[in-house]
Amino acid sequence: MSDRLVLVTGATSGIGRAAALELARRGLGVVVHGRDGTRVSETAAAIRRDAGGTIEEAVADLGSQRQVRSLAADVTRRFGRLDVLLNNAGTYEHRRRLTEDGLETTFAVNVLAPFLLTQLLLPLLERSAPARVVNVSSVAHTTVRSVDFGNLQGERHYGAYEAYALSKLGDVLVAYAQARRLDPSAVTVNVLHPGVIATKLLHPGFGFSGSPPEEGARVEVYAATAEELAGRTRLYLTDEEPHDSSRLSYDEDLQERFWAECERLTGVTAAAAQAR
């Protein structure tokens, strides 16, 4: 696997760091992404010491669409291939905050950033076929009973958990919509629930602890590398097994409406991404 390359977003702590380490131990090249350059360098150095191999670094704040675009351009310029894009990074915001783009932060980081990054990296992924896109969701998505597009970014009222759960449903909807648009022999798109994991997001957001990050990383590494998943797309994975996501997530009209909103808020359509 030494010639294969994986980009792991949010890889400086928690599940992302554990997944990056395990992928490197398995002989894959890993691009360690984070928003703090010092932490990215420290994490990359630690993984090199532990696992060796090709460990690269990438820095970008996913709350900035300008920086997401720069990240995609940097990865495309520096590397001749990308076999797996692991959209692991996420946030839980206790109060409503806006990004530099004027977007609610939870929605911007958890939904729009992976959508935009994936769209911009699709040409590189397709050139590296067979390639994989893995989006990290959460079982929290199952608590959403309906989607109010007039309050998608907490414009009228904001609740931290409600915003987080909606963003995690968005990750599933986007994954399913994108999977329908791509040839699975070239690029598969799957989504997963890593489990209830003790990360810096879990305890402040939910008030309880969970399993070690390595447990969540196990599901991510499985989605990124398992031979039995070759050519299989539009799956929702947990405990290294496909499971049903929420009933709402299979509504194709909702998937398409959510997809269109992501295109509108990022300004990137499939055609525009392919032209870059």
Q: Which residue has the tokens 């890993």?
A: 30
Tell me the HSE value of 183 on the side-chain side, using a 13 A CA sphere.
8
Q: Which residue has the tokens 């994986």?
A: 6
Q: Which residues pair with 133 in a beta bridge?
A: 85, 189
For the record, the structure tokens of 44 come out as: 């990359």
Cα–chain-centroid distance for residue 113? 8
For the record, the structure tokens of 57 come out as: 């670094």
Euclidean distance between CA atoms 228 and 200, whole angstroms:
32
222 noted as active-site residue: no
Euclidean distance between CA atoms 204 and 201, whole angstroms:
6
Q: E strands, the chain, where?
A: 5-8, 29-34, 55-59, 84-87, 131-136, 187-192, 236-238, 241-243
Query: Is residue 82 a contact partner of residue 75, using CB atoms and an 8 Å limit?
Result: yes
Euclidean distance between CA atoms 166 and 152, whole angstroms:
8
Euclidean distance between CA atoms 191 and 175, whole angstroms:
6
Euclidean distance between CA atoms 49 and 175, whole angstroms:
34
> Among residues 92, 164, 176, 236, which one is catalytic?
164
Euclidean distance between CA atoms 32 and 152, whole angstroms:
31
- Residues with catalytic roles: 164
